[in-house]
Amino acid sequence: MTQNTPPSEPLGTPAHASPQGPAPHGHAGHGSDGAGPGAQSLAVPDAAAPTSPAAPAAGIVAEHVSRAFGSVQAVADLSFTAPRGAVTALVGPNGCGKSTLMLMLASLLAPDAGRVLVGGVDPAQDSPAVRATVGWMPDQFGAWDSLRVSEVLEVMGRAYFLPAAQLRGRVDELLELLDLVPLAQQPAHVLSRGQKQRLGLARALVHDPQVLILDEPASGLDPASRRRLLQVVRSRAADGATVLVSSHILGELEEMSDHVVFMDGGRVVDASSIRALAARPRPWRISSLHHQALGEALAHLQVRHGEVVPADRTSSGHAEVLVELPDEATASRLLADLTAAGAQVIGFGPATGRLEAAYLASDAAQREGAL
């Protein structure tokens, strides 16, 4: 049984669109072992962690799922797996089929072909069983006119047939959890976008679902609410729930999730664990007290680099340069060498998050002219 939790499986589809093109990161002096991780290196070291030997591997499985709306093919032959007890991020440009996929997982939409399994159950076979385990938060919040915030949660609890005795406590618990107590008696439709998002999350949690599907939960949230969202999502995953979350705020998503699935044009174009993304090339920003020292050190080490921007042209007040590096090990060696070469380094770190770097390297980002 434990063998059925294959560590490399959760990210099913191989990355056939390799995001790292002709990587411009020579860095000759530093043994260029990081030739870019191939599709094989999608190992998920932490995913296995089976809390109990009987725990099934995947909370969500999509197998060759397709769905079209009229002539628009929203999802095309998509396969991926999201493991239990972990947060899986869904990243892709607008209209790439994320929401459609989530509708299918929430048992609202039937795929044209292929199938999805949520908690091992196909919604086409037994929709109520799937709906009992899934908490779905749509990207657009529909509010009932004139229902108060606490009443919305109460109605949702009833809609999941929670016992009346349990309901009251559950509603209070959720109001507390998502900082909605001061808003409890407000009509739901007058809430701000961020407040509605919190209510939407509370609504999705009302029946303590084992699978949580969140469609852009962070949009419109203030920083404190985002921390709260992060905590809620992490604690749900720690309790063994399967969490699938889509967002365009990649920094936040990186902090929140264990795995990432990149979508484009209705397909999975890449999948990885966040941890494995560290072994991918991304730009690093090196700042120095002296731009000439930095430039000379880089030249000495024969590192291919961008323009060294002098201190008077940067917002930080330091001389800065961007260097494309294949992985973190290389970065570490470069830092040591730069220090040794007297580059007066004052800052050395990734210029973008791992997720962002991976996303920006994808075809979708190239197409949209982000670079």
Partner 1 sequence: MSTPPTPGTGPTGAGTTSAGATDAGTTGAGTTGAGTMATAPADPGPSAGGAGARPAGPRPRGRGTFALRLRGLRLVTSLELRQRLRSKRWYVALTMWTLVMLGIGGLGLAPTLYSAQWDSVGPIAAMVFSLQMILVLFAMLLVVPALSAGSINGDRTAGTLATLQASLLSPAEIVLGKLLAGFLTGLAFLVLALPSVVPIALLGGVGLLYMLRLLLVIIVLTLCVTAVGLGLSALTSRQLGSVVLAYVIVFGVTVVLPIAWGSSAVVLNEEREVTSYYTVWDDESGSVPDRCEAETVRETVPRLDLSLPLLWGNPVVLLAEAAPPLPQDYWTTGDDADLLSMLKSGMRSAATATHPSHAVYCDPSTPGYPTDLGTPPNRPVWPMGLGLWVLAGALSLVVAIRRLAVPIRRLGAGTRIA
Binders of partner 1 among 20-39, rule CB under 8 A?
39
Query: Judged by CB under 8 A, which of 35, 41, 45, 158 binds partner 1?
Result: 158
- Taking only Cα atoms into account, the Rg of the chain, rounded to an integer number of angstroms, comes to 23
Nearer to partner 1, 54 or 371 (CB): 54
Range in contact with partner 1 (rule: CB under 8 A) among 125-133, 176-184, 282-290, 338-346: 125-133
Give the orientation angle of helix 164-177 with respect to helix 149-159, to 10 degrees.
130
Cβ proximity to partner 1: between 107 and 330 the closer is 107
Chosen residue from 159, 181, 190, 370 binding partner 1 by CB under 8 A:
159
Q: Which residue lies nearer to partner 1 by CB, 118 or 331?
A: 118
Q: Is 138 in the site for partner 1 (CB under 8 A)?
A: yes
Q: What is the x/- site pattern for partner 1, positions 196-215, by CB under 8 A? A: -------x---x--x-----
Cβ distance to partner 1 smaller for residue 194 or 240 = 240
Q: What is the CA 353 to chain-centroid distance, rounded?
A: 12
The C-alpha atoms of residue 283 and residue 275 are separated, in whole angstroms, by 17
261 in contact with partner 1 (CB under 8 A): no
The site string for partner 1 over 80-109 (x = CB under 8 A, - otherwise) reads: -------------------x---xx-xxxx
* Residues facing residue 345 across a β-bridge: 288
Other C-beta atoms lying within 10 Å of the C-beta of residue 39: 15
7 vs 350 by CB, closer to partner 1:
7
Task: Name 267's Cβ contacts closer than 8 Å, sequence gap at least 6.
Answer: 75, 76, 77, 78
- CA atoms of 36 and 324, how far apart (whole Å): 12
Cα(360)–Cα(352) distance, rounded to whole angstroms? 10
The rounded distance, in Å, linking the Cα atoms of 167 and 155 is: 10
Q: How far is the CB of 4 from partner 1 (least distance, A)?
A: 5
Q: Name which of residues 35 to 74 contact partner 1 (CB under 8 A).
A: 39, 54-58, 61, 63-64, 66, 69-70
End-to-end CA distance of the chain: 46
What's the Cα-to-Cα distance from 69 to each of 61, 78, 100, rounded to whole Å? 22, 16, 10
Q: Is 361 in the site for partner 1 (CB under 8 A)?
A: no
